[in-house]
Amino acid sequence: MVAALQGLLQGLFGAAYPLVWTLLKIVLIIAPLLLCVAYLTFWERKVIGWMQVRIGPNRVGPWGLIQPIADGLKLLLKEVVIPTGSDKSVFLLAPMFAFAPALAAWAVVPFNDTLVLANVNASLLYIMSITSIGVYGIILSGWSSNSKYAFLGGMRSAAQMISYEVSMGLALVVVLMVSNSLNLGDIVKSQGQGYFADHGFGLLSWNWLSLLPMFIIYLVSIVAETNRAPFDLAEGESEIVGFHVEYSGMAFAVFFLAEYANMILVSTLASIMFLGGWLSPVGFLPDGLFWLLLKISFVLFIFLWIRATFPRYRYDQIMRLGWKVFIPLCLIWLVVVGCWMMSPLNIWK
Partner 1 sequence: MEFKTFVFYFLSAVLILAGLRVITSRNPVHAALYLVLAFVSASGVWMLLQAEFLALALILVYVGAVMVLFLFVVMMLDINLDRLREAFWSYLPLGSIIALMMVFEMGLVLGGNYLGLLESNVPQTSATDSNVQAVGRLMFTEYVYPFELASVILLVGIVAAVALTQREKRKTKLVDPSQQVFVKAKDRVRVLQMPAEKRD
Q: Which residues bind partner 1 (CB under 8 A)?
A: 87, 90, 120-122, 125-126, 128-130, 132-133, 135-136, 139-140, 143, 151, 155, 158, 162, 165, 182, 316-317, 320
Q: State in angstroms the smallest separation of the CB of 126 from partner 1.
A: 6
Q: State in angstroms the smallest separation of the CB of 182 from partner 1.
A: 6
Sign of the Cα torsion 136, 139, 141, 145 reads: negative
Radius of gyration of the chain (CA): 21
Q: State in angstroms the smallest separation of the CB of 141 from partner 1.
A: 12
By C-beta, is 75 or 102 nearer to partner 1?
A: 102
The Cα–Cα gap between 205 and 198 comes to 9
Give the angle subtended at the CA of 213 by the CAs of 212 and 215, to the nearest 5°. Answer: 60
By C-beta, is 208 or 326 nearer to partner 1?
A: 326
Q: State in angstroms the smallest separation of the CB of 298 from partner 1.
A: 29
CB 145 within 8 A of CB 91: yes
Q: What phi and psi, each to the nearest 5 degrees, are found at residue 242?
A: -85, 175
The Cα–Cα gap between 248 and 252 comes to 5
In order, the DSSP letters of 5-34 are: HHHHHHHHHGGGHHHHHHHHHHHHHHHHHH
The Cα–Cα gap between 34 and 106 comes to 12
Side-chain half-sphere CA neighbours of 139 within 13 A:
11
Element (H, E) at 328: helix 327-342
By C-beta, is 135 or 272 nearer to partner 1?
A: 135
Q: State in angstroms the smallest separation of the CB of 153 from partner 1.
A: 13
By C-beta, is 161 or 279 nearer to partner 1?
A: 161
The Cα–Cα gap between 319 and 329 comes to 15
By C-beta, is 67 or 86 nearer to partner 1?
A: 86
The Cα–Cα gap between 296 and 268 comes to 5
By C-beta, is 128 or 211 nearer to partner 1?
A: 128
By C-beta, is 6 or 317 nearer to partner 1?
A: 317
Q: State in angstroms the smallest separation of the CB of 143 from partner 1.
A: 5
Q: State in angstroms the smallest separation of the CB of 84 from partner 1.
A: 17
